[in-house]
Amino acid sequence: MIDDSKRAKPFNLSRRELLRHGANAALFATIASQVDLTRPAFANEQKLTGPLNVLAWSGYNDPELMKGFTELTGVELNVKEAESNGAQLSLVQAGTVKFDVINPDAVWTSKFAEAGLTLPIETAKLASIEETMPMFRNRPETMYDGQVYAIPTRFGVNGFVYWPDKISAEAALDAELAWDPSLKGRVEIIDWPELYLWMTGKWLGMETPETATGDDLQKILDKMIAFRPNMRALQSDMGTVKTDLANREAWMVWGSSSDNVRTTARLSGGNVDLAIPKQGGAMWMETLQIVRGTEHLASALAYIDYMTSAKAMKQMAWGADKFAVTNSKVKDLLTADQVKALGLDMMEEWVSKCTMSQAPVDDMAWADAWQTFKAG
């Protein structure tokens, strides 16, 4: 995630009823094949307990998704919407609410694990893991100390989304476009400090911009300040960015989860294009993680299995918001037009040109730098 702004409603699924005939009966008899909870993780007649408390980005509280899980397992869900990765970390550390599953971006996995807040996940116990696109399996961002701690869900790429009658395709392939004087007051971004500081550092030639402090961070900040004349607005949410692009008040949107911005604009009739600059783009990827100390471990595993299934992910991909998802079989559940609208036909190419943007090593220094940028 994304970080602080990106976020997924209606699928009609046929599923056989869950059979529960008493405390001593087998937990499951027959269920939908897409979420096979009869596999070893759940076939020990251990009762799935709840309710399950989930802290997640917008979209995971989709009533249809929540209803599907409860109908399948009998476990009620309480889903609290997350404001940011940092806020998720603080809420879990505070422990005021005992969350069972959280939804941070992949690059925050080590922060949670190092703090002793999450558990390693036995992926062999997740039936849906076999359907994960190969490029999202056992990524380093999802691992800590040689073990998997995070299961990927939604993802996206960041580059430039632009009106081709205002900006040429050739120009859009150069990151310096964002600083081109011809775009004065025509480029919009959102309040996502990790993304823009990281991308700018990368474009300045830094191998690991997330480690930037001192003079290196100042170079990034100076470059961002130089961008300000071209910045039409720094928006707090993606909705406004999309509206301004659709209205042509903005000629280009930098970042803001570019594939989602493109999809939304095109579905509204805007023939915008997406380009990943030759200097490279940035990826984000959300994950599901299990909170250490959960009293509902089997239910947490069942939830992750359900949420990463093709049926659930189809709902996340083609809901109120439109985001790419990591289950390879989702394409089979979408129409050809939907696949094209989501950019899934282009996603492999876009991803190949992107690097996963990383969380800063020095959070406070980056926060101060971003505040300086915002202050003008």
Q: What is the mean pLDDT of residues 134-161?
A: 95
Q: Using the 8-state DSSP alphabet, how is residue 174 labeled?
A: S
Same fold, 52-155+284-344 and 157-282+354-375: yes
Region of poorest pLDDT, from 17-26, 102-111, 174-183, 250-259: 17-26
State the fold for domain 157-282+354-375: D-Maltodextrin-Binding Protein; domain 2 (3.40.190)
pLDDT at 376: 78
Percentage of the residues of the chain whose pLDDT score is greater than 90: 82
Percent of the chain with pLDDT over 70: 88
Q: Does position 41 have pLDDT exceeding 90, yes or no?
A: no
**Lowest pLDDT segment from 6-20, 101-115, 166-180, 294-308:** 6-20
How confident is the model at residue 321, as a pLDDT?
A: 82
Give the phi and the psi of residue 256 in degrees, each rounded to 5: 65, 25
On the question of pLDDT at 298 being above 70, the answer is: yes
Q: What is the pLDDT at residue 46?
A: 62
CATH numeric code, 52-155+284-344: 3.40.190.10
pLDDT value at residue 354: 96
User: Which pTM does this prediction carry?
Assistant: 0.83
- CA nearest to 287, candidates 356, 346, 349, 344: 356
With beta carbons less than 8 A apart as the criterion, state whether 39 and 127 touch: yes
The residue ranges of DSSP E strands in 173-222, in sequence order, are 187-190
252-254 and 160-162 as β-strands: parallel, antiparallel, unpaired?
antiparallel
Q: Does pLDDT of 99 surpass 50?
A: yes
Domain ranges of the chain: 52-155+284-344, 157-282+354-375
- Residue 140, pLDDT > 70, answer yes
Mean pLDDT, the chain, as a whole number?
A: 88
